Amino acid sequence: MPRKRPGALRAQRVPRQVYADTGSWGVGLPKRWRPSRRIVSAIRREEYRRPFGEGWWPGAALEAIDAYRAFLARPGKYLYLLLSISGSQEQELRDNVAVARDLLEVVVHRLPACARRDLEALLAEMDDELRRRTLPDPLAYRQPYRRGDWWHWRLYHETHHL
């Protein structure tokens, strides 16, 4: 019976999602994409300072970073963004990487200068990987929900174009 290559077995693994509340956030994903302690503490301070009606809640920014990292950790040469169908903000944040990136863009502008620089550097590296592994959509201008920053103008999975 033929044996699977070790690389094929590793590609099938789903990255483990561990959040900051457990004390071991980001275990199992690339080390270079882990936020520093300065970023995590600044995000937590800002999350608890803001009212919940502004579109993010305690833990949302760290979930967005985790969703963004998990999306980039998927195997394959090219990645396709997915539209979420559910009405829940938490599910949409996990399914649609563009929503997660939108939230991170809001968070970047609300952090203090030191943490902002660190988070911008982290996001710049992840954005480069997203640009490299996704393709631009030449017909994105036809869809009104695709307005916004450059990550909304990437190709989505073909089942969501119908």
For 85-105, letters b (16+ CB in 10 Å) and e give eeeeeeebbbbbbbbbbbbbe
| Per-residue model confidence (pLDDT) at position 53 | 61
Whether pLDDT at 85 is above 50: yes
Q: Is residue 19 part of a domain?
A: no
Q: Is residue 9 part of a domain?
A: no
Q: Is residue 125 part of a domain?
A: yes
Cβ atoms 34, 26 nearer than 8 A = yes
Worst-scoring range by mean pLDDT, 42-51, 89-98, 115-124, 140-149?
140-149
| Per-residue model confidence (pLDDT) at position 25 | 44
For 43-52, letters b (16+ CB in 10 Å) and e give bbebbeebee
Q: Is residue 18 part of a domain?
A: no
Domain of residue 114, residue span: 34-160
The values of phi and psi at residue 40, to 5°, are -60, -45
Angle at 60 between CA 83 and CA 112, to 5 degrees: 120
Cβ atoms 100, 84 nearer than 8 A = no
CA–CA dist 14, 136 (Å, integer): 26
Q: Is residue 51 part of a domain?
A: yes
Q: What is the pLDDT of residues 19-72, one digit of tens each?
A: 443 334 444 455 666 788 888 889 888 888 876 666 778 888 889 999 999 899
| Per-residue model confidence (pLDDT) at position 116 | 92
Pick from 73, 99, 75, 72: which is nearest to 86 by CA? Answer: 99
| Per-residue model confidence (pLDDT) at position 18 | 42
Q: How many domains does the chain have?
A: 1
In this prediction the pTM is 0.72
Q: Is residue 100 part of a domain?
A: yes
Q: Is residue 44 part of a domain?
A: yes
| Per-residue model confidence (pLDDT) at position 161 | 46
Worst-scoring range by mean pLDDT, 67-71, 103-107, 153-157?
153-157
Q: Is residue 143 part of a domain?
A: yes
CA–CA dist 67, 100 (Å, integer): 7
